Amino acid sequence: MFKNVFGSGFLVRTSHVILTWVITLILFLHDTELRKQEETGQLVQPVLFVLLVLLSVLLYFAVSLMDPGFILSDDTDLQFMLGVTEEQQDMIPPATKSLRQRRCGHCLLQQPMRSKHCQTCQHCVRRYDHHCPWIENCVGERNHRWFVFYLAFQLLVLLWGLRIAWTGFTYVPIWHQWLRTNGVLTAVTMLLALLSLIVLLLLGSHLYLVSLNTTTWEFMSRHRISYLKHCGADENPFDRGTFQNLWGFFCIWGTVVWEQVYFKEGSDQV
């Protein structure tokens, strides 16, 4: 389930952990409300904040080390075992049918629909979304929902840290003395604000794409994807409505045979 901890992403993951705990330490060392509550024995908020930071780090490792849905062997008969018959295949235009039964030019395995070969991971990934350099892993069928959960949780921690940092500034009338007193906290605040903005945009974009039942790869490279070339600009053969898309993404676990959804849409159009 998990990849080797000491793989190519070791440096990225180590840097992430070090940066997380350095920022947390700075928030405790400066005269923030976190430190004031700690000194007065009010430990509920400091302990809760540390636990949230710890959980965010654990969730980060879970997402970054999890198998995103690597295809390790051929499963050409899977779609037929789950109810996709030859009659249903015949209802789709021949060009589309042949493009679905394609083999990867790199790992030579047959790719299920919505999968893609990742050049960085050197594997084909089911329901490929993108390769994220932040986690040094692909985001795919198995870890996509956890990636969204991580973004939401990370945003909560960043915003709380930003609020804590804001309470630690000390008023000094002279500018250069103020900068000397609050320089480190200012840098931390700016970094937290930048990271909060990035995570907010990432979370918003992923929730938007999930609500449409499309992926980042499909959204950005629609014109190059074989099974979407024949669709109109606003047509998505996997869209089952916003509520059902969100329900399927967050609440239904296991492998989805996207050929089945695609065939159903195709049969409705015939």
- Given 132, 138, 231, 251, which residue is catalytic? 132
Q: Are 137 and 120 within 8 A, CB to CB? A: no
Per-residue model confidence (pLDDT) at position 75: 61
Q: Angle 223-228-234 (CA atoms, 0-180°, nearest 5)?
A: 85
Beta bridge partners of 71: 124
Q: Which amino acid is at 19?
A: L
Sequential pLDDT tens for the chain (270 residues):
455 555 567 888 999 999 999 999 999 998 889 888 888 888 999 999 999 999 999 999 999 999 999 998 876 444 444 444 444 444 444 444 444 457 888 888 888 889 999 998 889 999 999 999 999 999 999 999 999 999 999 999 999 999 999 998 888 788 778 788 888 999 999 999 999 999 999 999 999 999 999 999 999 988 888 888 887 777 888 998 999 999 999 998 878 888 877 776 543 432
How confident is the model at residue 191, as a pLDDT? 96
Beta partners for residue 139, in sequence order: 130
Pairing assessment for the beta strands 116-118 and 123-125 based on DSSP bridges: antiparallel
Domain map (residue ranges) of the chain: 8-67+143-260
Cβ atoms of residues 96 and 227 within 8 Å: yes
Q: What pLDDT shows up at residue 265?
A: 53
The distance of Cα 178 from the centroid of its chain, to the nearest Å, equals 39
Please give the pLDDT value at position 183: 87
pTM: 0.84
Q: Is 132 among the residues known to form the active site? A: yes
**Integer Cα distance of 172 and 239 in angstroms:** 57
Q: Quote the pLDDT of residue 6.
A: 54
